[in-house]
Amino acid sequence: MRVAMIGTGYVGLVSGVCFSDFGHDVVCVDKAQAKIEMLRRGDMPIYEPGLESLAARNVAAGRLSFSTDLAAALDGADAVFIAVGTPTRRGDGHADLSYVYAAAEEVGRAMTAPGVVVIKSTVPVGTNREVLRILRRVRPELVIDVASNPEFLREGAAIEDFMRPDRVVVGAATERARDVLRALYRPLSLRDAPIHFTSLESAELIKYAANAMLATRITFINEIADLCEHVGADVQDVAHGVGLDRRIGPKFLHPGPGYGGSCFPKDTLALARTGQSANSPLRIVETVIAVNDARKRRMVEKISGALDDRLAGRRIAVFGVTFKPDTDDMREAPSLVVVPALIGAGAAVTICDPHGRKEGEALLPGAAWREDPYEAAAAADAIVLLTEWNMFRGLDLARLRSVMSGDALVDLRNIYRPAEAAAAGFAYTSIGRPAAAPA
């Protein structure tokens, strides 16, 4: 099949590359000439493991191309995907749908034959119906169907998620739209991936409800971790014991500095605003948002406490600033709260992150950067482990301690065992676990 993918951001680029690997003929379209030229050279504008090699393979096979020519991309397309951004709208927290609606109007004007327009962007309930109205207004003479096909891609594991999904959700009101999406995803039938067909509204809400549920689990275990610190329990044991219940499961029960990224913060906020607008408030989601925002600020207090509540003049090495490992995405990362607060309190901060510098240098002014964690820790009073990249999991703790001036290790991802850190000479602070006595 021939596919036009409008937007080469994270979702559009990964989806377009993966569809081409299914054997479809895919053209990824973007207005940004510089980005298209970069993609044509084989350079990826984002870091996602495996994406560059997968794109190169399908470009070489003639199944994948990149273009700024919308009309040419739509010519003969069986499906036109809109995968543009829906950031939080300033002032009110609703999703900004201006990019989606603008793309829908441009697509409608450029279409020359009946077709199926698929909304891949994360959009609130009612958006697909509005897109359909726009298309009918712009091109009343054409029969254009609209489908909702939300993405469920984890940054750092997006290719695996696309190729081996838990499910594919398709909201469609017509049989033609269902047939086109069924044919596009037919390669997954060999892997028994279920395609869940619903109404447009249900598909839109599934995406938001799923992200809100995951954000709630993260926030819940973070609050349990706080309670563990007050009562002497170990959150690792508690989370494991809870996760063994098959009704609950172990995923997303890992305490840390709060959720961030491109999805959970904006999607929980958009869902909360949708509930308020529909006069059906989602109190749990509203509380999750508030608790998570406070969580990031609370981490600054935890770091300060490890340094006797005196940050001014201290040297602090921060390991990891992207919102999660295996991505260069800094959106809503806890580091964007933690690092500026440390610098604002008078600390000198040095950052080590394998892929965070590209975005992070502009977002975290005043910080120094080092490629090597031992160099970053040199003469530091404290190390703060903020993002659990693999490169930080097997560090030589004794060597790390030997290059420091101080002895504080604040592990906000619980990578190390308290006894192991204490044996290396650290005054160790973690999340929701009792501290080990120094060796």
Total residue count of the chain as it appears in this document: 439
Which tokens in the block code for residue 250?
């172990």
Question: What gap in Å lies between CA 167 and CA 188, rounded to an integer?
Answer: 10
Answer for the pair 302, 429: CB distance below 8 angstroms, yes or no: yes
Any idea what DSSP says for residue 278?
T
User: Rounded to an integer, what distance in angstroms lies between the CA atom of residue 247 and that of residue 260?
Assistant: 26
CA neighbor of 334 nearest in space, from 342, 326, 152: 342
Q: Is 352 a catalytic residue?
A: no
Pairing status of strand 144-148 against strand 168-172: antiparallel
**Catalytic residue among 18, 28, 263, 352, which?**
263
Phi and psi angles of residue 88, each rounded to the nearest 5 degrees, phi first: -65, 130
Contact 306, 429 (CB under 8 A): yes
Phi, psi of 432 (to 5 degrees): 70, 25
Tell which residue, 86, 48, 156, 171, has the closest CA to residue 387. Answer: 156
> Contact, 355 vs 291, CB < 8 A?
no
Active-site positions?
Answer: 263
